[in-house]
Amino acid sequence: MFFIMCIAILMLTTPTVFAMDGQALVEAAVEYYRGIASISTVQMTVVRPTWKRVMTIKAWTRGQKDSLFYIVAPPKDRGNGTLKKGREMWIYNPKVNRVIKLPPSMMSQSWMGSDFSNNDLAKSDSIIEDYTHSLEGTASHEGKKVYIIKSMPKPAAPVVWGMQKLHVREDFILLRQEFYDEDLLLVKSMSGDRIQMLGGKLFPKIWKMKKAEEQNEYTELDYQQLAFKKSIPKNQFTISALRNPGR
């Protein structure tokens, strides 16, 4: 009887990730990262060998498809915005008062000269829909198990990467994401650091995207504020909202 009770307790206390496969882990990690909806203020620092650029960004996300970003500082960039709805993306330049819709081919291009692409910054659901995922191994981080997942693009998927690898902790925190080209050579990697309570749950305060071959070139995102919400109005993700940064 004692043995049966121990097994029952173990089943109740073991993380649900125990029975998950690669697909379920990736879905859980994206859902954890994005939440139902969120509002954040992030300081982005682009570092190059001879210069450094710092910007402050305010961002809204809803579900896994909708995102809105605009630059708060510095003054010369204030009001520049990016709206993403599903697989469609628009950018707004207040100096010329013009909204431009980006073709899918530009989703992988650099966002505001950083090491994050348009798609990276939006953390879209492409990683869920366009890739198949398999468990490759495990590691550990701060006493917790980390699952290493290999993500390969589905046939004819509209993606630029030949492979991705994700390191997802057992509590679904994404610790690392690696991006490989068609020859399966590492191009860049993103890592999360300084995990702490943000928005009511554990979350990496610092995200760093770094090129594989350039030690002195990287972009760092530092979350200044983060709030997860139950909902955000649909009109927050419209061209009208993109044009109006005075929120």
Per-domain residue ranges of the chain: 18-243
Q: 88-123 pLDDT, tens per residue? A: 899 999 999 999 998 877 777 888 889 998 777 655
pLDDT at position 149 over 80: yes
Tokens at 169, concatenated: 């902790």
Distance between CA 75 and CA 26 in Å, rounded?
A: 38
CATH class of 18-243: mainly beta
Better pLDDT: 203 or 12: 203
Where helices occur in the chain by DSSP H, the ranges are 2-13, 22-34, 118-122, 126-129, 239-243
Q: What percentage of the chain exceeds 90 in pLDDT?
A: 68
Q: 10-58 pLDDT, tens per residue? A: 333 334 444 579 999 999 999 999 899 999 999 999 999 999 999 999 9
Q: 153-164 pLDDT, tens per residue? A: 999 888 889 999
Q: What is the pTM of this model?
A: 0.85
Kindly report the average pLDDT of the chain as a whole number: 87
Q: Is 215 exposed, middle or buried (CB count within 10 Å of its CB: 0-12, 13-18, 19+)?
A: exposed
Find the mean pLDDT for residues 239-245.
85
Q: What is the pLDDT of residue 226?
A: 96
233 Cβ partners below 8 Å, 6+ apart?
none
Q: What is the pLDDT of residue 91?
A: 93
Q: What is the pLDDT of residue 105?
A: 73
CA distances from 182 to 153, 163, 167, 172 (A): 10, 7, 20, 28
